[in-house]
Amino acid sequence: MSAQLHESVLHFSAHPLLWVLARLARRAGLLWKVPGLGVMVSDAECAREILRRDRDFSKNGTGSFAQAMTAALGPMALGNMDGDDHRCLRTAIADVLAPARADMLVRCRGGDLASMCARLARGDCVDLVHFTRGWSGRIAFDVVGIAPPVTQEEEACHEIVRLSERLASVLGFRDPSRRQARIALADRERLAAYFREGYERSALPSSLADRLQTLGFTFDEAVGLLLIYIIGGTLTISAALPRIIALLVDSGAFAQLRKDPTGIPRAIDEGLRFITPLPGTVRIVQRDTIVQGHRLTAGTRLVILTHNLARDEKLFPDPDRFDITRMHNPRAARLWYGAGPHRCAGFNLAQRELKAALSAMVGVGREFRVVKRRASIGALIPAYARLVIQALPDS
Ligand code: HEM
C-alpha cells in the first residue's frame, strides 16, 4: 500500500463521513455549502483571512466546537474563548511555552528518546505510538508543572493520554448524548485529579500552573486551561510523530534524511503539511460580510478544512506528492498550526519535540521497516493505534 493510501485509511477510520465530504469539497472549490453542515472552506487565502478576522468569525455560536468544549472542559479553555478575554489570557501565559522554555522541556526528556532509540539500534521492535503517548504525557506533566505520582509515573503518563483521548472524542458537531456527557464529566474529574493537589502546593516555577496561580486563578477556574494543554500537547504529538515516521518509511524518504540530516526541519514541515494532524476547525460568522469576494451571512457555520488548505495548488504545486525537499511558500505560514489569535499555543514545543524525535531516530543510523500498524477508530485526531517498527540490519 502506498504512503498516501495508509494516510487515507487513518482519515477514513477517524471520520468516515467527514473524510468523504472533505474529498468532495476539494473538488467542489473554494467555498462549498453543505446543507445541515455549513460552508466548507478549502481555500488557503480565504481560510487565513477568516482565522485572522476573529471579531467577524468567532469560536462561539450555535453549532460551534466551542460549545462542546465548554461542556467538557469549562469556560476557560482558550479554544472556546473569543475577543479580549481570549487575547488577554493568551498574552498572560505566552512565555510558558516560549522557545527557550520549550527547548528546556524537550531536553529534559531526551533520555526517554535515547532509550527508545537504543532499543531500535539493538534490533528490538518498538511500538512508536506507545512510546510517543508516554513521552508526550511526561512532557505534558512538565508543561503544567506538576509531577506525576512517583510510584506510578509511567502509568500516569499513559493514563492522562487515554483520558484526553476520551474527553476529546466528545468534541464534535453533534451534542454529546447524556451518557457521553456523564462519562466525559467523570473523565474530566479523573484527569483533573492528577493536578488538583499539586496546583497549590508544588507547581514548578515558570510552569503553566505556577503562572495561573500568580494570575490569581483558583484550581477550579484554571482547570479547563490546564486540560487543554494536556489534551493539545499529547494527542497531536502522539498522532503526528508516528504518522510522519510511517510516511518517511513508506515513501523511502527516511533514507534521504539519513544522507542529509540537515533536511530534518523541512521534512517536519512537509510531514505536517501532508498529515495535517488537526484536519479541520470551525468558526461562526458573526455578521454579514465578504471574504476574498465571497459573501457570508451571519450565523453560518464555517468548516475550515485544514487538510484541504494544505493541498491548495496555488501554494503547493503537485500537492498530493510527499516531497521532503519541497520549499514551502512563506505565504502558507504553517497553516496546519492555524492562524490569527487562536494559532497553536504549543507551536514552539511541538516543533522541538518533532525535531528531537526525528534527529534521534536518524541518529540510530539504520533504515526502518513497519512491522505492524493499526488505525485508531473514531479518534478526534486521525492516528495510528499501533505502529510497530524495527531497524533493518546494516547493509
Ligand atoms: C504538531 C502538533 C500540533 C498541531 C498541528 C497543532 C495544531 C493546532 C491548531 C490548528 C490550533 C488552532 C485551532 C483553531 O484555530 O481552531 C491549535 C490550538 C492550540 N494548540 Fe496546538 N497543535 C499542535 C501541538 C500542540 C501542543 C504540543 C500543545 C501544548 C503543549 C498545543 C496546544 C494548543 C492550544 C492550547 C491551542 C488553543 C489555542 C487558542 O485557542 O488560543 N498544541 N493547535
pLDDT tens digit string along 202-258?
899 999 999 999 999 999 999 999 999 999 999 999 999 999 999 999 999 999 999
| Ligand 1 centroid distance, CA of 144 (Å) | 15
Q: Catalogue the long-range contacts made by 183-191 (C-beta closer than 8 Å, 24 or more residues apart).
A: 184/71, 184/72, 187/163, 188/72, 188/73, 188/227, 190/163, 191/160, 191/163, 191/164, 191/167, 191/227, 191/230
The Cα 324–Cα 262 span in angstroms is: 11
* pLDDT value at residue 10: 97
Ligand 1 atom showing the smallest separation from residue 81 Cα: 40
* pLDDT value at residue 376: 96
179 phi/psi in degrees, rounded to 5 = -65, -45
| Ligand 1 centroid distance, CA of 336 (Å) | 9
- Sequence-distant (≥ 6) Cβ neighbours of residue 348 within 8 angstroms: 97, 98, 99, 101, 102
Q: Give the CA radius of gyration of the chain.
A: 20
Mean pLDDT (the chain) is: 94
| Ligand 1 centroid distance, CA of 344 (Å) | 3
In this prediction, residues 36-53 reach a mean pLDDT of 95
**What pLDDT, in 10s, does the model give residues 295-312?**
999 999 999 999 999 999
Check if 352 has its Cβ closer than 6 Å to any atom of ligand 1. no
* pLDDT value at residue 71: 87
Check if 350 has its Cβ closer than 6 Å to any atom of ligand 1. yes
* pLDDT value at residue 152: 95
Please tell me the number of Cα atoms within 13 Å of 312 on its side-chain side: 25
CA distances, 332 to each of 119, 270, 338, 342 (Å): 38, 12, 10, 16
Interaxial angle between packed helices 178-201 and 153-168, expressed in degrees from 0 to 180 and rounded to the nearest 10: 140
Q: DSSP H helical segments within the chain, as ranges?
A: 3-14, 16-28, 44-52, 65-73, 83-93, 99-108, 110-121, 128-144, 153-168, 178-201, 208-214, 219-251, 253-259, 264-275, 306-309, 347-363
Check if 344 has its Cβ closer than 6 Å to any atom of ligand 1. yes
List b or e across 297-318, with b for residues whose CB sees 16 or more CB atoms inside 10 angstroms: eeebbbbbbbbbbbbbeebbee
| Ligand 1 centroid distance, CA of 39 (Å) | 23
- 66 is in which domain, residue-wise? 3-391
- Sequence-distant (≥ 6) Cβ neighbours of residue 80 within 8 angstroms: 59, 60, 65, 66, 67, 69, 70, 73, 224
* pLDDT value at residue 272: 98
The Cα 155–Cα 332 span in angstroms is: 39
Check if 163 has its Cβ closer than 6 Å to any atom of ligand 1. no
In this prediction, residues 182-205 reach a mean pLDDT of 93
Residue with cell 546494516: 394
Amino acid (1-letter code) at residue 339:
A
Whether residue 165 is predicted with pLDDT greater than 90 in this model: the reply is yes
Query: Measuring from atom 7 of ligand 1, which residue has the nearest CA?
Result: 337
Check if 278 has its Cβ closer than 6 Å to any atom of ligand 1. yes
Whether residue 274 is predicted with pLDDT greater than 80 in this model: the reply is yes
* pLDDT value at residue 65: 87
Whether residue 172 is predicted with pLDDT greater than 80 in this model: the reply is no
Asked if residues 254 and 367 have their Cβ atoms less than 8 Å apart, the reply is yes
DSSP state letters, 121-177: HTT--EEHHHHHHHHHHHHHHHHHT-PPPGGGHHHHHHHHHHHHHHHHTT-SSSPPP
The proportion of the chain whose per-residue pLDDT surpasses 70, expressed as a percent, equals 99
Whether residue 180 is predicted with pLDDT greater than 90 in this model: the reply is no
User: Domain total for the chain?
Assistant: 1
390 phi/psi in degrees, rounded to 5 = -150, 145
Q: pTM for the full model? A: 0.96
Check if 132 has its Cβ closer than 6 Å to any atom of ligand 1. no
Check if 66 has its Cβ closer than 6 Å to any atom of ligand 1. no
| Ligand 1 centroid distance, CA of 203 (Å) | 23
Sheet of 384-391: strands edge to edge? 126-127, 384-391, 368-375
- Sequence-distant (≥ 6) Cβ neighbours of residue 42 within 8 angstroms: 25, 26, 28, 29, 30, 31, 32, 305, 308, 309, 312
244 phi/psi in degrees, rounded to 5 = -65, -40
* pLDDT value at residue 395: 67
The proportion of the chain whose per-residue pLDDT surpasses 90, expressed as a percent, equals 86
Q: Give the confidence band of 53 by pLDDT, cuts at 50, 70, 90.
A: very high
Query: Measuring from atom 18 of ligand 1, which residue has the nearest CA?
Result: 344
* pLDDT value at residue 331: 80
**What pLDDT, in 10s, does the model give residues 93-109?**
999 999 999 999 999 99
| Ligand 1 centroid distance, CA of 238 (Å) | 13
**What pLDDT, in 10s, does the model give residues 140-151?**
999 999 999 999
Domain with residue 345: its CATH number is: 1.10.630.10
Asked if residues 278 and 381 have their Cβ atoms less than 8 Å apart, the reply is yes
